[in-house]
A = this chain, B = another copy of it.
Amino acid sequence: MSDNKYYTWHTEPMHAYEQHSIAIKGMPVSIQTPFQQMAIIDSLRFGRCLILDGKVQSSETDEYIYHEALVHPGMIAHPAPRNIMVVGGGEGATVREILKHPDVEHVVMVDIDEEVVENCKKYLPAWHMGAFDDPRVEVLCLDARKYLEETTKKFDIIIIDITEPLEGGPAYLLFTQEFYQIVQNRLTQDGVLIVQSGSAANNDLLCFSSIHKTLQTVFPQVKAYHTFIPSIALLWGFTVSFVNENRSVLSGDELFCELEKRGLTSLKYYDMETHLSMFSLHKYLRESFEKDGKLIQDNAPLTY
């Protein structure tokens, strides 16, 4: 009687001339918050997905790739990360991964959009796995830049887990040289900044290379890496920056020992070989870092 086809699709504009579409069988949330459109969809291909302003933020079947890639290479490179700040990260999965590091004492997550956070708590338990209830975790629904300008706290790790630095709106002010200087002032001596950095595809590198170049003007040590996220249909870039010029990402024996020491040998995605793959950059990426990036400033945001 029924042909078992699916007729409802989430269609994501990856670019003016490119779309990625996934069939959906449910849409438990579809709201306009004061800040953005939010949807939670149940897709046939990637399970449940969080969508903000039309873009998949993470999906049930591959969020572990994104969140492990985002959190661990930077945190493992800090000798004892105790105080952590997350900017964005509404799903709670970034916090979930942070809490796996045994030295963590306090995590403050600052996400401007309370409705997003509340709906993620309710509808994405497989993401946060109760992390919001951990006594070490504090969630603030504020403008993260304002918070960082006003606080006197210092953090060992700051993670910027927000997509879309390029488009209009306040988010772009979280990707500028001025913002990175504010961040740098709020990091401890061995502090580490991790920035989700957008597409690493060979024909779409302006954002990644510009974030890389801008961070290099503020931090003495900056490392880029990438991994493939199926639900986003892109190789995705990340950048990790160090306040202390003598620190960098770990590798080889150091990485092995530190993973052992922290009990992180059974992660689903991140291990030594995965690390090597992520931090060995394709040639076009290295070339782009040398020539393509532009300095992002408050009065000179990225625009295509």
Contacts and interface: CB of A to CB of B under 8 A. Distances in A.
Interface of A: 1-13, 15-27, 30, 32, 34-37, 39, 41, 43-46, 51, 53-54, 61-62, 65, 168-171, 200-204, 227-228, 230, 233-235, 267-271, 273-274, 276-278, 280-284, 286
Contact of A41 (B8, B35, B204, B227): B8
Contact of A8 (B2, B8, B269): B8
A173 to B, nearest CB: 12
A143 B233 CA distance: 34
B282 A2 contact: no
Copies in the complex: 4
A9 B6 contact: no
A32 B4 CA distance: 9
A77 B269 CA distance: 29
A106 to B, nearest CB: 29
Contacts of A13: 7
A113 to B, nearest CB: 9
Nearest to A53: B2
